[in-house]
């Protein structure tokens, strides 16, 4: 490989790392905003508005700069199913916000890489060596350290965060082994479209069943009626729609222009962002056990990534 080619590849890798870390930074601001809405609005309304705005922006960008042909997926059924899975992942994640500090929610949801390993064994019959099994066990131990000492393991927020990790892991399996030939931005558009549609459909089901809030903060976040949004909150919803579109684009671009082996470790910068912003916005100070558990979980996940990317 020539010196020029190496320089270009290095620059693309750096751009990919920047795209990923900045995209995750935007997602962390989105999550802080949604957490601030958790005692006022319906999570379905927030997700619907955010995803609708993101879908429109992503479609417009794609049609102008890449041509409308990129809006047509090669595997529409697979992408629609992935969006269906991600709807449950993201909704469960947001519903955990009223019940737990955001650092604890992130800790449990970062079981996803470990769950991907387990699902690969169950669904794809992949073989895992003894060292990887130890890493899987260590990851679960890290999460137990986060939620166990103060009884958070019995918190419904912990269950919701685990459901997010499980469904997000399933979505990752679909991306890794099933989705072929579609660009990251096409995948993002289809996911956002399905999440928008599912948010509206589930709300209609809630209305039809006559379900009302008053159970607990997490369930209330789901069952709360949609209302007209005024003032600064309207602009905040527009803001998270815009940064969600940008974040999904940057996340997809990172893996498009740089090898996954070089950018994947930077996924864990999200942990730093959310812990820091959780402290700045909500005065949530992670406990010592939470920080130790997070360190164990991240280390185990990175070891699994390193072993499976060889």
pLDDT tens digit sequence for 53-110: 999 999 999 999 888 888 888 888 888 998 999 999 999 999 999 998 898 898 888 8
Instruction: Give pLDDT, residue 176.
Output: 66
Most confident range (mean pLDDT) of 168-182, 191-205, 210-224, 268-282 is 191-205
- Measured CA to CA, the distance from residue 117 to residue 127 in angstroms comes to 10
pTM, to two decimals: 0.88
Q: How confident is the model at residue 200 (pLDDT cuts 50, 70, 90)?
A: very high
Q: What residue segments make up the domains of the chain, in order of their start?
A: 3-308
């Amino acid at each position: 490989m020539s010196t020029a080619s190496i320089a270009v590849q290095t620059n693309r890798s750096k751009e990919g790392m920047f795209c990923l870390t900045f995209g995750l930074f935007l997602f962390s601001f989105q999550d802080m905003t949604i957490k601030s809405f958790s005692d006022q609005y319906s999570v379905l309304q927030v997700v619907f508005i955010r995803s609708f705005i993101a879908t429109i922006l992503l479609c417009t960008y794609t049609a102008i700069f890449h041509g409308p042909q990129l809006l047509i997926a090669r595997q529409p059924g697979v992408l629609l199913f992935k969006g269906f899975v991600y709807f449950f992942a993201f909704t469960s994640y947001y519903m955990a916000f009223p019940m737990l500090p955001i650092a604890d929610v992130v800790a449990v949801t970062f079981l996803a890489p470990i769950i991907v390993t387990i699902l690969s064994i169950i669904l794809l019959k992949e073989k895992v060596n003894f060292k990887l099994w130890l890493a899987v066990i260590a990851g679960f131990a890290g999460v137990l350290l986060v939620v166990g000492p103060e009884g958070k393991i019995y918190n419904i927020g912990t269950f919701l965060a685990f459901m997010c990790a499980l469904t997000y892991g399933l979505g990752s399996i679909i991306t890794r082994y099933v989705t072929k030939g579609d660009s990251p931005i096409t995948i993002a558009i289809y996911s956002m479209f399905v999440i928008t549609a599912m948010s509206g459909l589930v709300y209609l089901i809630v209305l039809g069943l006559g379900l009302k809030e008053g159970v607990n903060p997490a369930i209330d976040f789901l069952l709360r009626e949609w209302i007209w949004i005024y003032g600064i909150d309207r602009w905040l919803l527009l803001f998270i729609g815009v940064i969600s579109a940008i974040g999904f684009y940057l996340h997809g671009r990172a893996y498009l222009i740089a090898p996954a082996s070089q950018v994947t470790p930077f996924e864990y910068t999200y942990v730093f962002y959310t812990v820091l912003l959780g402290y700045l916005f909500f005065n949530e100070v992670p406990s010592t056990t939470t920080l130790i558990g997070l360190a164990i979980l991240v280390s185990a996940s990175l070891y699994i990534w390193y072993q499976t990317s060889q």
